[in-house]
Chain A
Amino acid sequence: MALETSVIQDKLTSKFGESVTGFIQIKDIFSFEVAPSAMKEVMRYLKEDEELRFNFLTDLCGIHYPDNEKERQFAMAYHMHNWVDNVHIRFKSYLNGDNPEIDTVSDLFLSANWQERETYDFYGIIFKGHPQLKRILNMDEMTSFPMRKEFPLEDGGRTDKDDRFFGRTTDNN
């Protein structure tokens, strides 16, 4: 592999300092954390730097962590892929639980447009600067954000199902 993960780490820390932290290899993917304020610049740098060349945004999605402290209750996970050296990376930005906001990357990668709309639709994460931030899979009239953990899967009044066997109501550790 031509591009070592240590190179990625060194380049990012020297350029962004405290904004990028928590470098760790999880399975086959090198992962780290980026402060939401610096996320867009980090992505731009990863994409445009001549050595890093992460030219493809594979995937982005939201995650809800209601049990974390307020500042880290939402996360955006981005997967990028360098096609030249064939390296995958993933980075996450943790967002505030009451007011999740992050810059859009739809101007860096056109593919982010609908994916960000989808994330907004399901998590209510606001993408600042997105050209068309409206619901995509759910109907426009909907007011809630269904992928948040507090949103019930089914009618809570049902008595014919015992959720202990099917849901995540009990801890089975």
Chain B
Amino acid sequence: MSDLLLPPEHRYAKIIEQRKNEDGSELSVLNLGPTHPATHGIFQNILLMDGERVLDGEGTVGYIHRAFEKIAENRPFYQITPLTDRMNYCSSPINNMGWWMTLEKTLDIEVPKRVQYMRVIIMELARIADHIICNSVLGVDTGALTGFLYVFQYREKIYEIYEEICGARLTTNMGRIGGFERDWTPEVFKKINEFLEEFPAIWQEFENLLTRNRIFMDRTIGVGPISAEKAMSYGFTGPNLRAAGIDYDVRVMTPYSSYEDFDFDIPVGESGDTYDRFCVRNAEVWESLKIIRQAIDKMPEGPFHADVPDYYLPPKEDVYNNMEALIYHFKIVMGEVPVPKTETYHAVEGGNGELGFYLITDGSRTPYRLHFRRPCFIYYQAFNDMIKGQMLSDAIATLSSLNVIAGELDA
């Protein structure tokens, strides 16, 4: 049996014994997690340490595995959105919209331009919320709590916008097949405009606080670097890949939801270290703001959902007064919607990478197979490679700059 199949602590016990006999060095095993304030989620790392330096590590994941793929095989299509919420819970609207777009691709539904723009706005807001958390928490892990508390109130404002749109804040379950459940009220636009006015100054201040801060730079430059080639092989996508210098972005490569209508740049880093990841996320927030402004300015008039009575719930007063509407309502709620027998892969640019949905339908009321390509799960395996030879405190900074979300990691 290969040594790698053993539990890591057994494997490391052998190495410790061996090294002790060889040169008398005293290595130790450190158990980081599963619940540790610095891991920001439930996952465990068993590290082999030489003093403060990490020699080797192995991640144990699956502590909050909730069998989403299995559950999805037993649920009507519209009941799967709440599952996607709970993957990357820092930017759930992106997951929601990704799932609806996958389904619309499967069903060949053309979505009105207004809906596409609304989706772009909400997805970019979610990306900002995601990056606010990641970058400010990186500040916390390197000793700067102030920035975190300062920008977090703006995540709160984004949540208020979600709340105005769909009633929920964290796990949004937003949207329907073909559009939104209701049109956005003037209040939503008012809140978005307020956010666009107030947030840039705050974000600028946050950037000023950290970007050229000597302590922060010393703690992050050269920490947990990864080369572009290795990042690609490890399946990195999103800001973490771009920090390594590759300008791959799903929004540009395979535009969805009218991203081709907007003018924005893809920020890239160079060395793929923690500092570059921080800077790429910072710059992406500015790009997201740019996209939202353009979408608000260009927002076309029109319906807030596609005209697909087979899949989109009719208005309630029609259900009470009109037989056809009642029939559609009943069929949709019971999950009896016509679905072709096909296979679809659709990807969106999630908060931390290419979030893909691979849906196989067999014409029945539930997916035959639904696979989520979860960016976190794929790139987190590089973590142990990235921290080898680094100090423990650098490992913590690397971990938080990777933005590993336990919900997405474990599905």
Contact = CB atoms under 8 A, between A and B. Distances in A.
Given A55-B232, A132-B4, A167-B74, A61 B334 contact: no
Interface of B: 2, 4-5, 7, 61-62, 65, 67, 69-71, 73-76, 105-106, 230, 232-235, 248, 253-254, 334-336, 342-345, 347, 354, 356, 358, 360, 363-366, 369, 371, 373, 377-382, 410-411
A1 to B, nearest CB: 12
A27 B342 contact: yes
A8 interface: no
A2 interface: no
Interface of A: 26-29, 31, 55-59, 61, 63-64, 77, 79, 83, 86, 88, 90, 109-111, 113-115, 118, 122, 131-134, 136-140, 146-147, 151, 153, 165-168, 171-173
B358 A59 contact: yes
Contact of A110 (B62, B345, B356, B382): B382
A147 B70 contact: yes
Contacts of A64: 369
Contacts of B343: 26-27, 29, 31, 90
B5 A132 contact: yes
Tell me the interface secondary structure of chain A in the complex. loop
B233 A168 contact: no
Contact of A111 (B106, B364, B381): B381
A95 B381 CA distance: 27
A111 B4 CA distance: 17
A28 B358 CA distance: 13
Contacts of B74: 153, 166-168
Nearest to A90: B345
Contacts of B363: 173
A31 to B, nearest CB: 7
Contact of A137 (B335, B364, B411): B411
Taking each of B73, B254, B336, B381, which has the highest tally of chain A beta carbons within 10 Å of its own beta carbon? B381
